């Protein structure tokens, strides 16, 4: 029993969907809690055990100073710190606001903006060292399990680093880009979702962030050939991972 990995789950600015994926592992959940101990997981447990923990999963982007402090504490109490989901990896959707002055954004939502202390949204590696990234909005459950197994075994788990196209082809989904000439982010986006969106007749939204060797400039040029306006292209690259170098290059390409 005492050999179980101690796991903690932290929440920063997020929708809680990534941590919900733990509870969405119904078929293996009981086996999972046989192998790991959710020592700190407020969504699922009332009681929590103090650190240190073996793995800390951090969900959400950092959007205020107080979160930086909590994040630093999390870093201290965890042997392996994992960015859980695209918000924690890249700033995620909350980072969309980074390209508009904070003042303007706040005033669109609140009347009395002097009470709001929000900062630009960043992924957690802006502030602490991160040992692993589980990409996706939300994270993929299979990858989550693979990651936990890998940690139990003491190895680097195999997470697909390449483009979504590879999984699209492996499953023989109709190509959204070539066939429908719709702007699909798949060629520059990290696989691991099983090419979910193309499998459902939809262009990839880029939710998993840049793939290995992503050539976003070239894809942006193709989008432009498909008739997208410059601002449409910018919006596509500044969505889930607009802060990354790769996607910035895509946004600036045309």
- The sheet carrying 36-40 orders its strands as 36-40, 5-11, 53-59, 78-84, 132-134
197 counts as binding ligand SF4 under rule CB under 6 A: yes
d(CA 206, CA 92): 11
In the complex with ligand SF4, the residue whose CB is nearer, 63 or 177, is 177
x-or-dash string of contact with other proteins, 150-169, rule CB under 8 A? --xxxxx-x--xxx-xx-xx
d(CA 233, CA 247): 11
80 counts as binding other proteins under rule CB under 8 A: no
If contact means CB under 5 to 8 A according to the sort of partner, which of other proteins, ligand SF4, none does residue 101 touch?
A: none
x-or-dash string of contact with other proteins, 131-150, rule CB under 8 A? ------xx------x---x-
Tokens 């980072």 belong to 95
Q: How many CB atoms lie within 10 A of CB 25?
A: 17
66 counts as binding other proteins under rule CB under 8 A: yes
d(CA 162, CA 210): 9
Helix (H, G, I), strand (E, B) or coil at 40: strand
d(CA 16, CA 22): 11
**Residues 54, 57, 58, 67: which binds other proteins (CB under 8 A)?**
67
Q: Which of residues 189-218 bind other proteins (CB under 8 A)?
A: 196-197, 199-202, 205, 211-215, 217-218
Residues that bind ligand SF4 (CB under 6 A): 164-165, 168, 173, 175-178, 184, 186-187, 189, 193, 195-198, 204-208
């Amino acid at each position: 029993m005492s050999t179980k990995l101690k796991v903690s789950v932290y929440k920063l600015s997020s929708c809680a969907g990534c941590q919900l994926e733990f509870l969405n592992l119904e078929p293996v959940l009981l086996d999972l809690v046989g192998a790991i101990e959710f020592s700190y997981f407020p969504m699922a447990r009332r009681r929590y055990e103090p650190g240190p923990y073996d793995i800390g999963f951090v969900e959400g982007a950092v959007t205020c100073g107080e979160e930086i402090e909590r994040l630093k504490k999390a870093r201290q109490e965890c042997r392996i710190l994992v960015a859980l989901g695209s918000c924690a990896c890249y700033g995620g959707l909350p980072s969309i606001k980074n390209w508009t002055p904070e003042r303007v954004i706040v005033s669109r939502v609140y009347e009395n903006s002097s009470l709001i202390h929000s900062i630009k949204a960043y992924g957690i590696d802006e502030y602490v060292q991160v040992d692993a990234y589980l990409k996706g909005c939300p994270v993929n459950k299979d990858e989550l399990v693979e990651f936990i197994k890998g940690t139990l075994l003491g190895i680097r788990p195999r997470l697909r680093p390449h483009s979504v196209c590879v999984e699209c082809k492996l499953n023989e989904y109709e190509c959204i880009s070539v066939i429908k000439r719709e702007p699909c982010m798949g060629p520059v986006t990290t696989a691991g979702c099983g090419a979910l969106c193309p499998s459902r007749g939809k262009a990839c939204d880029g939710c998993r962030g840049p793939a290995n060797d992503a050539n976003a400039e070239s894809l942006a040029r193709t989008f432009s050939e498909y008739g997208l306006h410059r601002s449409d292209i910018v919006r596509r690259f500044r969505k889930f991972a607009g802060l990354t170098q790769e996607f910035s290059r895509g946004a600036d390409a045309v």
